[in-house]
Amino acid sequence: VQLQASGGGLVQEGDSLKLSCTTSSRAFSTYVMGWFRQVPGKEREFVAAIIWTGSSTLYSDSVKGRFTISRDNAKNTVWLQMNSLKPEDTAVYSCAARTSFWMPSVVRGSGSYDYWGQGTLVTVSS
C-alpha cells in the first residue's frame, strides 16, 4: 500500500495549511488513518487519527483546537487542516494507515500503523 502525502510548505506564524494524503488502495475505507510529525533528532510524534467512517477523531494536546483531520473514502483521501500554525509545528508530517481496530490508546502509537507515506515538510516561520 502506497500513501502519498502532499501540501507542505513554508508559512508564517498564524497561517493555515492543509495537508493531503492519498492512496490507490481499494481498502482505504477500512483503514484507520493517522498523521504524525517528526523533527530531526526527535522521536516521531502523534498528531491526529480518524476512524474508518470519519465519525471519531483523536488529537494530540498540542494541536487540539487548531488542527482538523478529515477523510473522504470515495476519494481515498485524508486531510489535515492546520490553523493558527506555530513555529513549534515545524516538522516533517507523515500519514499512516492502520489495518486493525480503533482504540484511542493504541492509535496514538506509531508502531500500531502498518503503512506509511513519505512525509511532507511544514516550516512555520516566526
Residue 26's alpha-carbon distances to 19, 22, 23, 69, 82, in angstroms, are: 21, 11, 8, 21, 27
The per-residue pLDDT for 4 is 96
The per-residue pLDDT for 85 is 98
Predicted confidence (pLDDT) per residue in 47-86, tens digit:
999 999 999 999 999 999 999 999 999 999 999 999 999 9
Closest CA to 37 of 85, 92, 83: 92
The per-residue pLDDT for 111 is 96
Closest CA to 70 of 86, 85, 58: 58
The per-residue pLDDT for 44 is 97
Instruction: Annotate 50-88 with DSSP letters as a single string.
Output: E-TTSS-EEE-TTTTTTEEEEEETTTTEEEEEE-S--GG
Predicted confidence (pLDDT) per residue in 93-118, tens digit:
999 999 999 999 999 999 999 999 99
The per-residue pLDDT for 25 is 93
The per-residue pLDDT for 43 is 96
